């Protein structure tokens, strides 16, 4: 489910039933795809994996021995079969974690994951319940919708009524960064 609902976007734009739910849902999903990676969450990125017929191992480029613990439940995504799913960690080393696999998959040696896999622990914050995050999502959704509908994809500034070719540039996030400031991940602020 998106942070901004189709009904909220429809109301904010004042378009009634002019456009289908599918079109507006794609805009709401795109807003989440732009915004959510910048927010702080309990996840790390694995660079490689390997497995025996009963156990998978995920490898990281940073030290994770103080991040995870044996018995913790994690959700593994973007690693492919048989690695993806929710698992209980059975071993933690400096740069790797291991967990049991079911189904006796074929053993595979160490190989990289490109781009990187995602290992998520429990996130304590529900961003969809935060008013500032909801507003930022709505603002991004409106900007994406307007860029799709405006001639040549340009937004028009209310101050100068001049078209701007930068509607979907890094300025998109800059417009809502103040709303998102308390929730931004330090890793998203580098660069």
The rounded percent of the chain whose pLDDT value lies above 70 is: 88
Q: Per-residue pLDDT for 162 more than 80?
A: no
The per-residue pLDDT for range 7-55, each reduced to its tens digit, is 999 999 999 888 899 999 999 999 999 999 899 888 999 999 999 999 9
Q: Does the pLDDT value for residue 189 go beyond 90?
A: no
Domain boundary among 72, 104, 120: 120
CA dihedral 46, 94, 57, 86 (to 10 degrees): -70
In which domain, by residue range, is 69 found?
43-120
Counting the structural domains of the chain, the total is: 2
191, pLDDT greater than 60:
no
User: Contact at 8 Å (CB) between 89 and 121?
Assistant: no
Peptide linkage before 82 cis (omega within 30 of 0): yes
24 and 72 assigned to the same domain: no
Instruction: Choose the final residue of a domain: 103, 120, 137.
Output: 120
């Amino acid at each position: 489910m998106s942070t901004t609902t189709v009904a909220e976007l429809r109301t904010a734009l004042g378009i009634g039933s002019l456009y289908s739910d599918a079109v507006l849902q794609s805009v709401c999903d795109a807003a989440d795809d732009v915004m959510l990676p910048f927010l702080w969450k309990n996840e790390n990125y694995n660079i490689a994996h390997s497995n025996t017929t009963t156990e998978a191992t995920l490898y990281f480029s940073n030290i994770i021995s103080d991040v995870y613990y044996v018995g913790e439940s994690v959700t593994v995504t973007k690693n492919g079969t048989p690695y993806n799913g929710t698992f209980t960690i059975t071993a933690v080393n400096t740069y790797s974690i291991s967990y049991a696999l079911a189904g006796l998959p074929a053993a595979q040696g160490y190989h990289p994951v490109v781009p990187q896999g995602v290992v998520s622990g429990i996130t304590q914050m529900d961003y969809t319940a935060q008013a500032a995050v909801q507003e930022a999502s709505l603002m991004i959704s409106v900007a994406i919708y307007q860029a799709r509908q405006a001639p040549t994809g340009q937004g028009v500034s209310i101050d100068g009524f001049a078209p701007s070719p930068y509607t979907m540039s890094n300025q998109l996030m800059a417009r809502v960064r103040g709303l998102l400031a308390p929730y931004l991940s330090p890793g998203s602020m580098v660069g």
